[in-house]
Amino acid sequence: MPRITYAGLTHQGRVRTQNEDRWTADPDQGLFIVSDGMGGQPAGALAARIVVETLPALLRAQMQGIDDLTTPDATHRLLTALATLSEQVRRGSQGQPGLDGMGATVVLALLHGTQALIAHMGDSRAYLLRHGCLEQLTTDHSLVQLLLDCGEIAPDDAAHHPAHGQLTRYIGMPGEPLPEARLLALCPGDRLLLCSDGLTGMVCDAALLALVQKRLTPRIVCQRLIAAANAAGGTDNITALLVSMSRHAVRGCARVTRCASSQLY
């Protein structure tokens, strides 16, 4: 089994006066989460904080007795936890001054042994670095992504389209919550990057690859990712959470090492 190290950093960027991004890691549970709040201060920050503070306990309860992430029941329980959280946020914000309609994106990785479940709602993303290639594991739940899928706009137009930032799914959304999940088999040397759109909106995939594939500690990579986003303009809050699997297997279950990390950078 691979040994796991991780680090996460978040920054308000160069334009925003407040940071509505949040991240958390529960290494004992194998859980890593990034959330980007919506609705402006204080609603966005509150929604993201609810995600990172509430979801670990919901998942712990839902996944009790699950030892194999490859079973359909494991995915079902993960999606149930996200749908439950979305409903809780929606109901809790209704009729509350300044909070009505608040929401947050979520992207998470749940690791057990050599398996990982990747789940998300919104446009915060998960990437996999493997053998020098960077693969986007999630598809944005956004109006711009729908237009791209339908061929209505070209990829080069996406970043500057008037609908940029309009989400079709998120925690707290009206109607039926529709989280999405996929199963991933992990290999020694893999790296998982979870991030908010404040990173991907500023740094292209080729630049992400160049930074993530460097043989540096997760903390240093996160620092350089945030620096790159700020150098490109830093127009939004920026969060990067990097989970790195060692290149050499160790006996037993995956072992997690807590890197020096920071909630605010």
Q: Which CATH code for domain 2-258? A: 3.60.40.10
Q: Sorting pLDDT into bands at 50, 70 and 90, what band is 143?
A: confident
- CA dihedral in degrees (38, 41, 46, 49; nearest 10)? 80
Gyration radius (Cα) of the chain, Å: 17
In this prediction, residue 1 carries a pLDDT of 59
Q: Sorting pLDDT into bands at 50, 70 and 90, what band is 98?
A: confident
CB 115 within 8 A of CB 64: no
Domain ranges of the chain: 2-258
- Structure token pair of residue 191: 């790296």
Average pLDDT over residues 79-86: 98
- Structure token pair of residue 152: 């209505």
Q: Sorting pLDDT into bands at 50, 70 and 90, what band is 53?
A: very high
Q: Sorting pLDDT into bands at 50, 70 and 90, what band is 96?
A: confident
In this prediction, residue 67 carries a pLDDT of 93
- Structure token pair of residue 160: 């500057």
Q: Please determine, for residue 213, whether its predicted confidence score (pLDDT) is greater than 70.
A: yes
In this prediction, residue 44 carries a pLDDT of 92
Q: Please determine, for residue 254, whether its predicted confidence score (pLDDT) is greater than 70.
A: no
Average pLDDT over residues 78-103: 91
Q: In angstroms, rounded to a whole number, what is the distance separating the alpha carbons of residues 104 and 124? A: 10
Q: Please determine, for residue 257, whether its predicted confidence score (pLDDT) is greater than 70.
A: no
In this prediction, residue 39 carries a pLDDT of 73
User: CB atoms < 10 A from the CB of 210, how many?
Assistant: 14
Q: Please determine, for residue 216, whether its predicted confidence score (pLDDT) is greater than 70.
A: yes
Mean pLDDT of all residues in the chain?
Answer: 90
Residue 47 belongs to what H/E stretch?
helix 43-62
Q: Sorting pLDDT into bands at 50, 70 and 90, what band is 2?
A: low
Least confident of 29-33, 35-39, 127-131, 238-242: 35-39
- Structure token pair of residue 140: 């944005």
Distances (CA, A) of 1 to 4, 115, 164, 245: 9, 10, 41, 9
